[in-house]
């Protein structure tokens, strides 16, 4: 059998047999290394090379940031800000859900953390207010995926680090598509609210609203510190992440005093497992991706697509379809690492800017966090909502289509992604 | 007995992990301060951070194996007991293979790199690669526990 087919087929068989994804990547790679008569030491060597990057250090810090936000009162403060600003619109709790996910996304960059923290508070509240549990789960899961698009996004860090693309420019490029997807989701919620009579929360008055926003301001400073520092050239992404962690710790330990010092060891040890698993998968994807390149997969896929069409838009549409399928089975981190050479090769052929390509593929892969069988955000949300997964999937389908609409719009109107980077990092264009 | 031993080892390892994570945060924070405030970059901070990062990833992945934190895709039907038991057995076997690869070839890699030195720290690169075999050993230890528990639950179901 062709080694490339063996590699991909053995991986999917292992995944289907419930072997965890990191192990499946390593074992299918080991099998092909043996078949190709390569030394097995190159397997561990490539795994180590996969995580030997200072830029990747940003990942644990952004994940830890999510833990700190949830352990103290910061998430609650964000919820209050969201409730005050958009809660009074028809379908209020739905809007609060999307709005707080957008803000949370700009803080931690972890979609699963957002689903668990926002969902555990808002899903029961939405159910109590009369929203169907399946819709509450679907909206929470889908809006959490905004964390993959809106900076600081862990996937964009990985894309930039391995694809040699400016992470600052990728971050800035993710802002408009992320916000647009959020606005689309709020619009959809409004339409459903009017049709099914979902309630809104009363407006607390300008004075109270101003006071709530004022109290949330120190937290809202975090994305300003991170993005401003990175784009302004003061920090690398890793340093920006550590600045955000230090600021959040200062708020929680000293200003708000809602996290006791004695809770820190547990937060740190849980935070270690949080990042060790995706980074171990990155190490596995490092060897798998290396083999994909070694066996010439990029050329095969590129030749196949070019034999079908030479139209740039059609090439990109085929890539979007391919990434959607891949995203159903792989988490966005593994998918980005494994298929990066193919994504970049097709982007070059279609004349796409590397930043455009990076953000576009990330938007498409984010949908995979909601679609079965690896829709981890939907799994978490439907568990919290106690809603059947099938019903939650049906409720999530139109919301996923909205994110896909943003991807297609960004393909046709490149400035949706490239407009801000052109303004803020013009030296790249 | 084995579970108690695993509990003890996990407690020790997680304690070391949070201390190391704290050290990692301090090191990178120091780097930011040194570069932006004191205007004298510390070269050693990057290497210490990289060393701690590698240890935390590979040891954390082993602990994650025990806590069931690794990513899995559930496509098998829930009701079929024997199919699920078979899948659990295959997952354990896969775990043994990965742990052995990390232990055997990770050690070989660490020994190959032993002669090279991390300039800024003055230590052998062996220490940078040692987390690979350590992770493999820890995984094997946890897999033995998981196999024992699986066997016990299979016996319980049969009775």
What is the SS3 assignment for A171?
Answer: helix
Sorting pLDDT into bands at 50, 70 and 90, what band is B68?
confident
Minimal C-alpha gap between B130 and chain A (Å): 11
Torsion of CA B77, B79, B80, B84, to 10 degrees: 70
Residue (of A366, A427, A394, A384) closest to A143 by Cα position = A366
Beta strands in chain B (DSSP E): 117-118, 123-124
In chain B, residues with a C-beta closer than 8 Å to the C-beta of A239 are 28, 31-32, 35
Residue A372 or residue B131, greater confidence: B131
Copy the structure tokens of residue B103: 């232990």
Question: What integer pLDDT is reported at residue B157 of this predicted model?
Answer: 65
Q: Which of A207, A210, A200 is nearest to A96 (CA)?
A: A200
Q: Find which of A16, A27, A40, A280 to mutate to test the B interface (most B CBs within 10 Å of its CB).
A: A280
Contacts of A276 in chain B (CB under 8 A): 56-61, 63-64
**Residue A379 token pair:** 């799994």
Q: Do B105 and A41 touch (CB under 8 A)?
A: yes
Closest CA relative to residue A243, chosen from B29, B153, B94: B29
Residue of B nearest to A243 (CA): B29
Tokens for A372, please give them. 């079965």
CA angle A368–A402–A101, rounded 5-degree value: 70
| Spatial separation of the C-alpha atoms in residues A145 and A324, rounded to whole Å | 14
pLDDT given at position B83: 81
Contact A23/B98, CB-based, under 8 Å?
yes
Give the C-alpha separation, A427 to A122, whole Å.
43
Give the pLDDT of residue A256: 87
Query: For residues A328 and A321, what is the distance between their CA atoms, to the nearest angstrom?
Result: 11
Contacts of A14 in chain B (CB under 8 A): 94
- Per-residue pLDDT of A264-296, as tens digits, reads 999 999 889 888 988 898 899 888 888 888 888
Pick from B70, B101, B132: CB nearest A40: B101
CA A169 to chain centre: 17
Per-residue pLDDT of chain A (429 residues; tens, 9 = 90+): 788 899 989 998 998 888 988 999 999 999 999 999 999 999 999 999 888 888 888 888 888 888 888 788 887 888 888 888 888 899 989 999 998 888 877 676 567 777 877 888 889 889 888 899 999 999 999 999 998 899 888 899 999 988 999 999 999 999 999 999 999 999 999 999 999 988 888 888 888 888 888 888 888 888 888 888 887 777 888 888 888 888 889 999 998 888 999 999 999 998 898 889 888 988 998 888 888 888 888 888 888 888 888 899 999 999 999 999 888 877 788 889 888 988 999 999 999 999 999 999 999 999 988 987 667 788 888 888 988 888 998 999 999 999 999 999 999 999 999 999 999 888 888
Asked whether the beta carbons of A25 and A287 are under 8 A apart, the reply is yes
The answer to whether A119 touches A140, Cβ cutoff 8 Å, is yes
**B27, B68, B72, B103, best to mutate vs chain A, most A CBs in 10 Å:** B72
- Cβ distance A242 to B32 less than 8 Å, yes or no, reads yes
Q: Do A18 and B15 touch (CB under 8 A)?
A: no
Look at residue A376 in the predicted model and tell me its pLDDT.
Answer: 79
Q: What is the pLDDT of residue A44?
A: 94
What confidence score (pLDDT) does residue B69 get?
80
Q: Does B11 score more than 70 pLDDT? A: yes
Q: Which residue has the higher pLDDT, B108 or A376?
A: B108
Residue of chain A nearest B105, judged by CA positions: A41
Minimum CA–CA partner of A20 in chain B: B72
SS3 B20: helix
DSSP string of A215-241? HHHHHHHHHHHHHHHHHTTS--HHHHH
* Closest in A44, A57, A276 to B106, CB measured: A44
Q: Do B71 and A277 touch (CB under 8 A)?
A: yes
Residues of A in contact with B73 (CB under 8 A): 15-16, 18, 21, 329, 373-374
pLDDT tens sequence across A58-101: 888 888 888 888 788 887 888 888 888 888 899 989 999 998 88
On the question of pLDDT at B74 being above 80, the answer is no
B61 contact residues in A (CB cutoff 8 A):
22, 276-277, 279-280
Residues of B in contact with A25 (CB under 8 A): none
Q: How close is the nearest chain B Cα to the Cα of A398, in Å?
A: 23
What pLDDT, on the 0 to 100 scale, is given for residue B159? Answer: 64
Contacts of A273 in chain B (CB under 8 A): 60, 63-64, 67, 69
What token pair was written down for A416? Answer: 């949706």
Question: Between chains, do B60 and A273 touch, taking CB under 8 Å as contact?
Answer: yes
Measured in angstroms, the CA of B159 and the nearest CA of chain A are apart by 26
Beta carbons of B53 and A57 less than 8 Å apart:
yes
Yes or no: say if A80 and A182 are a contact pair by the CB < 8 Å rule: no
């Amino acid at each position: 059998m062709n080694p490339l087919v063996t590699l991909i087929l053995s991986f999917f068989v292992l995944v289907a047999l419930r072997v965890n994804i990191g192990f499946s990547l390593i074992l299918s790679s080991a099998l092909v290394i043996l078949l190709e008569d390569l030394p097995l030491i190159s397997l561990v060597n490539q795994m180590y090379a996969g995580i030997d990057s200072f830029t990747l250090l940003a990942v644990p810090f952004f994940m830890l940031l999510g833990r700190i936000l949830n352990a103290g009162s910061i998430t609650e403060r964000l919820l209050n800000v969201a409730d005050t600003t958009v809660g009074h619109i028809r379908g209020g709790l739905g809007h609060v859900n999307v709005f707080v996910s957008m803000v949370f996304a700009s803080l931690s960059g972890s979609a699963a953390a957002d689903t668990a923290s926002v969902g555990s508070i808002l899903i029961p509240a939405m159910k109590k207010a009369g929203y169907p549990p399946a819709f509450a789960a679907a909206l929470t899961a889908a809006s959490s995926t905004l964390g993959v698009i809106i900076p600081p996004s862990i996937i964009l860090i990985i894309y930039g680090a391995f694809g040699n693309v400016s992470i600052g420019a990728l971050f800035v490029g993710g802002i408009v598509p992320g916000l647009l997807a959020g606005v689309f989701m709020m619009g959809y919620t409004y339409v459903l609210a009017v049709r099914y009579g979902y309630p809104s929360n009363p407006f607390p008055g300008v004075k109270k609203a101003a006071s709530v926003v004022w109290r949330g301001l120190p937290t809202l400073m975090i994305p300003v510190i991170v993005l401003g520092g990175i784009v302004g050239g003061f920090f690398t992404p890793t340093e920006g992440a550590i600045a955000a962690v230090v600021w959040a710790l200062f708020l929680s330990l000293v200003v708000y005093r809602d996290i006791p010092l004695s809770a820190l060891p547990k937060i740190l040890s849980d935070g270690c497992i949080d990042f060790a698993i995706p980074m171990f998968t990155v190490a596995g994807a490092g060897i798998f991706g290396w083999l994909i390149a070694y066996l010439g997969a990029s050329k095969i896929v590129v030749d196949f697509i070019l034999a079908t069409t030479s139209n740039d838009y059609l090439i990109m549409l085929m890539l979007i379809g391919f990434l959607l399928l891949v995203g159903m089975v792989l988490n966005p981190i593994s998918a980005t690492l494994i298929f990066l050479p193919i994504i970049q090769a097709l982007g070059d052929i279609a004349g796409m800017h590397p930043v455009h390509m990076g953000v576009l593929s990330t938007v498409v892969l984010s949908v995979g966090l909601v679609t079965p069988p690896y829709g981890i955000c939907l799994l978490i949300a439907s568990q919290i909502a106690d809603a059947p997964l099938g019903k939650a999937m049906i409720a999530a389908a139109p919301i996923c289509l909205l994110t896909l609409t943003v991807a297609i719009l960004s393909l046709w109107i490149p400035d949706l992604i490239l407009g801000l980077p052109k303004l803020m990092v013009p030296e790249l264009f | 007995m084995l579970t108690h031993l695993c509990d003890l080892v996990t407690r020790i390892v997680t304690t070391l992990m949070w201390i190391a994570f704290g050290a990692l945060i301090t090191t990178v924070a120091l780097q930011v301060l040194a570069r932006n405030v004191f205007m004298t970059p510390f070269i050693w901070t990057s290497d210490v951070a990289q060393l701690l990062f590698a240890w935390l990833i590979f040891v954390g992945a082993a602990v994650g194996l025990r806590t069931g934190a690794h990513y899995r895709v559930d496509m098998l039907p829930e009701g079929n007991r024997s199919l699920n038991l078979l899948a659990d057995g295959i997952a354990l076997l896969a775990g043994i293979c990965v742990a052995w690869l990390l232990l055997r070839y990770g050690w070989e890699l660490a020994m190959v790199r032993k002669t090279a030195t991390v300039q800024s720290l003055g230590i052998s690169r062996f220490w940078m690669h040692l987390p690979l075999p350590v992770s493999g050993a820890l995984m094997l230890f946890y897999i033995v526990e998981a196999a024992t528990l699986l066997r016990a639950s299979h016996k319980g179901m049969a009775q």
